[in-house]
Amino acid sequence: MPNILRTHRAAALVGAAILAGAAAFPFTLPSTSAMAASASASATVPQVSSGSFADVVSADKPAVVTITTTMKATDVSDSGDQSPMDEQFRQFFEQQGIPMPKQAPQHQGGERGMALGSGFIVSSDGIIVTNNHVIDNAIDIKVTLDDGTELPAKLLGADPKSDLAVLKITAGKPLATIAWGDSDALKLGDQILAIGNPFGIGTTVTAGIVSARGRDLHSGPYDDFIQIDAPINHGNSGGPLVDHSGNVVGINTAIYSPNGGSVGVGFAIPSDQAQKVVAKLEKSGSIDHGYLGVQIQPVTADVADAVGLAKAEGALVAAVNAGTPAAHSGVKTGDIVMTVGGEAVKSPRDLSRLVADLSPGAKEAMTVWRDGRKVDLSVTVGGNDGDQKQASAAKDEGKMQTGPSIGVALADLTPDVRQELSLPDNVTGAVVAKVNPDKPAAAAGIQTGDVIVSVNDKAVLGASDVKTAIAAAVKSGRKSVLLLIERGDQKTFIAVPFAAA
């Protein structure tokens, strides 16, 4: 039962799934998942010597805490369902052909549910970092220090999109802390250490290496997970991932598991990303993320060639939502966003993160690639209300035109075709009536029933326009042609190469 489980506030995530943050472990009632926290600078931690982490553990362990949450029974799923982030993980893995099993029922009745997670102290006055899913919907939060002291905790702020939360406890004395590290300096193969409270058995330390960087699990605009092989399990969620110097380089957040336990595939939020979010949460309690209002997709080599771009970098705008900041600023379908606020955009994920980090109302410069040249725009960022997406993304046997070199048969959008495809009158273009399975269009993903709206950023009105535009691209020496496809209620750019025709 392979699954991505967010180590959620409870044992509910003990099943095979991607568990957010090495999950929280349940007590007598269903629990929720806990996630990572980070710490503020403290005394210098000794380097690892002779292959032992003993000195690092001795310095860091006192700053790692156990977080116990209590929630209403109605907040604890009787069917073992996971949080919204767990659902996004499930969808991601099912898209990869890996089914997500349903969790066994965890709640057996009662008025309250309890769960365990982990966290860590980042300032000596009691500021603690953990995952949002650890404390989500909690009506009571308690923190247990390494010495066994149990204290009530106040939630200072939480951000579901980054899955981070900040707590505050009052201990009446300075507390041990962990310093933030530099996650950007991590390299594949670097040694790391995970600390937390798996299954509620007590603080546990596991070691491993950095297995991969930049993992995108499609859970939000901040997806840039560090993949590790250090064993993390339910209850580790929210605990620190530290480097050989004992500094926090990540927050343990999720695992991939066929059985609910660790199989060496874990995920942590990078500290460089978390530290910025934590600072905002500590100051204001919440984050109002920026919103642009576009559907975006990657720029492949074929797309870059089709539009005359030297490198396959940027974020291709597949659609601009009406009435959004992007629409008001002049962003157009087919634009490739290259920079925002002077920061380079190399991928759609870069754009999503840059926009999400901006404050609503901020006015930023944006550079896009349009019609073979750079165009400078000024964008006033909007607010994201949670329902808006982040810059995140035919049968007609009449007259058919066969497009040169790509292997499609096209038909005009007649009234009968429009009715069959449920297309509104304002949709223009040509419908794909047939696709040759041995030609480039099929390999690129073109399907029967797709409507070709534009060719190389030029709107087309019918089959003959598509044929003419494709022929012009061939004649100009292009290696591929960029088609804007409307399929259902989604628009997508597809670059179709000529070489394999």
Q: What is the phi/psi pair of residue 61, to 5°? A: -55, -40
Residue 107 is a catalytic residue: no
Structure-token match 């007609």, residue found: 396
Residue 454 is a catalytic residue: no
Note the residue count of the chain: 501
State the catalytic residue, choosing from 77, 237, 352, 405.
237
Residue 125 is a catalytic residue: no
State the catalytic residue, choosing from 75, 136, 159, 163.
163
Beta strand spans in 187-247 (E): 191-196, 204-215, 225-228, 240-242
State the catalytic residue, choosing from 8, 107, 133, 244.
133
Rounded Cα distance between 53 and 68, Å, is: 27
| DSSP code string of 283-346 | HHSS---EE--EEEEE--HHHHHHHT-SSS-SEEEEEE-TTSHHHHTT--TT-EEEEETTEE--
- Secondary element (H or E) of residue 465: helix 463-475
Contact 190, 47 (CB under 8 A): no
394, amino acid identity: A
Give how far the C-alpha of residue 81 lies from the chain's centroid of Cα atoms, to the nearest Å: 20
DSSP collapsed to 3 states, 232-263: CCCCCCCCEEECCCCCEEEEEEEEEECCCCCC
Q: What is the phi/psi pair of residue 455, to 5°? A: -130, 120
Token pair belonging to 257 = 């598991």
Q: Which of 272, 265, 231 is nearest to 251 (CA)?
A: 272
Give me the active site residues, please.
133, 163, 237
